[in-house]
Structure 1
Amino acid sequence: MTPIRRYATAPGVPAAVGPYVQATSAGGFVFTTGQIPAAPGQEIGTFADEVRATLTHLAAVLAEAGSGLDRIVKLNAFLGSPEQLDVYNQVYETFFTDHRPARTTVCVGLWGVALEIDCIAVTGPGGDA
């Protein structure tokens, strides 16, 4: 049986604000909790800055779990407004140049944050086939 590992806090990433971990790995995959730009209520600049911060947090959580942005197979993004999509895509493209995972992007009401991103990635050695 494959062990399940839980990652509570990755370096440089805001701590969980509830009873959950930042990621769980099992069966060669890592499943991340939704990452946000900063601690709730803390503003960090433009929406582009928030997208960069969120993807940087996601990268740190994945690294803690033995994976990386280039190992993502599915990414879900939750934006607070449809008007954010163009800026989101512009920043997103700078993080995913060669490896573009399957992706879902939806607009939803969020609790005081501009966006939230979670993903599923593979762990361990190897790369794209």
Structure 2
Amino acid sequence: MNEIISTTGAPGAIGPYSQAVKAGGFLYVSGQLPLDPATGAFAGDDIASQTRQSLTNIKAIVDAAGMTLTDVVRVGVFLKDMNDFAAMNAVYGEFFTENCPARAAVEVARLPKDALVEIECVAHKA
């Protein structure tokens, strides 16, 4: 049975989807834009502040599911501009410091609300 995970610590979904779904021992977290849940606005105009907010949103959702970032096994990063990779990666390294999850990072043509980054993940608690 699937369990819908929802928290006010991350922005609500902007479409017909859930913040996350727990199924079969895994947590599937929907792509998180860099929106501050308190204001609904972007956390900043640069890739570092937007990456930090997207990962803060992911952490809030993972926490709400009774897991931690150490339970994250895969991350997908969608960048508006691959030239932002190094700055995104520096902030990412603040959240994932050891036993890092598998990851893909790709440049995309456009993201919702014209964000610079969107990040999704899958977690599993052994």
In structure 2, distance between residues paired with 1:15 and 1:82: 27
Give the TM-score taking structure 1 as reference length: 0.86
Native 8 Å contact 2:9 2:61 kept in 1: no
- Provide the aligned length of Structure 1 versus Structure 2: 120
Larger Cα-atom Rg? 1
Q: Once superposed, which parts of structure 1, at least 4 consecutive aligned residues long, lie more than 6 Å away?
A: none
Q: Deviations over 1:88-108 (max 9, x none)?
A: 111111111113000000000
- The amino acid across from 1:4 in the alignment is N
State whether structure 2 residue 16 is matched by structure 1 residue 14: no
- Alignment correspondent of 1:114: 116
Q: Which runs of 5+ in 1 are unaligned?
A: none
In structure 1, distance between residues paired with 2:77 and 2:68: 17
In percent, how many aligned pairs have the same letter? 37
> Which moves more between the two structures, 59-68 or 100-109?
59-68
CA apart distance, 1:64:
1.1
Q: Deviations over 1:70-105 (max 9, x none)?
A: 111111000000111000111111111113000000
- Alignment correspondent of 2:57: 57
State whether structure 2 residue 43 is matched by structure 1 residue 44: yes
CA apart distance, 1:12:
2.1
User: How well do the aligned residues superpose, as a CA RMSD in angstroms?
Assistant: 1.5
Give the TM-score taking structure 2 as reference length: 0.88
Give matches, 1:58-73, under 5 Å.
Answer: 58-73=58-73
